[in-house]
């Protein structure tokens, strides 16, 4: 997740990473990770450096561009649950496609590329 600032709103965090800050911890899908100490600032923003440390995510910065990037959780495996992550991507005609709209069907998800 790219950010110009080190502090973002919980809403931005949820929409861009799936992580939701709740009283019981940081939650994504059925997984909740207790945080023990706060990752939010006095004004209610999420401090990405504290969150990255708690969730075992890399946080890098490009000083010239003035950008941060929060990477995925480093939990040993690309999948930590078999529940398929919900995601949205544009289709080739520009409409937003919600992956969850396929619930009820078997899905073969194929990654390809033009290169």
Partner 1 sequence: MWQALREELYPQGLEIVTVALDTLGLKAALPFIEAAKPTHPALIDEAHLLDELFGVVNVPSGVWIDEQGIIVRPVEPAYVPRGQFRSRQIPEGASAYVVEMIGEVNKMIEGYKVSQDTEKYFPALRDWATNGANSRYVLSPEEVIERSRPRGMEEALGAAHFELGQHLYRQGKTDLAVVHFRQAHRLQPNNWTYRRQAWSMADPLQGPTDLYEGDWVSDIRKVGAENYYLPLDMD
Structural contact between residues 24 and 31, judged by C-beta atoms closer than 8 angstroms: no
- Interatomic CA distance for residues 76 and 81, integer angstroms: 12
Q: Does 108 bind partner 1 (CB under 8 A)?
A: yes
> Does 80 contact partner 1 by CB under 8 A?
yes
Phi, psi of 11 (to 5 degrees): -65, -40
Contact between 84 and partner 1 per CB under 8 A: yes
Distances (CA, A) of 45 to 7, 17, 25, 97, 102: 6, 15, 15, 30, 34
Using the rule CB under 8 A, is 5 a contact of partner 1?
no
Q: Does 90 bind partner 1 (CB under 8 A)?
A: yes
Looking at the Cβ atoms of 23 and 106, the one nearer to partner 1 is: 106
CB of 35 to partner 1, least distance (A): 19
**How far is 16 from 89, CA to CA, in rounded Å?**
13
- Rounded Cα gap, residues 39 and 57, in angstroms: 14
Q: Is 1 in the site for partner 1 (CB under 8 A)?
A: yes
53 binds partner 1 (CB under 8 A): no
Which chain residues interact with partner 1 by CB under 8 A? 1-2, 56-60, 62, 64-65, 67, 69-87, 89-92, 97, 99-100, 102-115
């Amino acid at each position: 997740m790219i950010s110009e600032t080190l502090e973002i709103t919980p809403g931005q965090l949820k929409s861009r990473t799936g992580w939701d800050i709740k009283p019981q911890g940081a939650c994504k899908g059925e997984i909740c990770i207790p945080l023990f100490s706060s990752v939010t600032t006095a004004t209610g923003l999420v401090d990405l450096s504290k969150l990255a440390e708690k969730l075992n995510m890399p946080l890098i910065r490009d000083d010239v561009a003035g950008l941060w990037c929060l990477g995925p959780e480093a939990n040993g495996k690309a999948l930590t649950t078999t529940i398929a992550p919900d995601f949205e991507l544009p289709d080739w005609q520009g409409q937003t496609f919600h992956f969850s709209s396929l619930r009820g069907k078997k899905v073969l998800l194929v990654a390809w590329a033009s290169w």
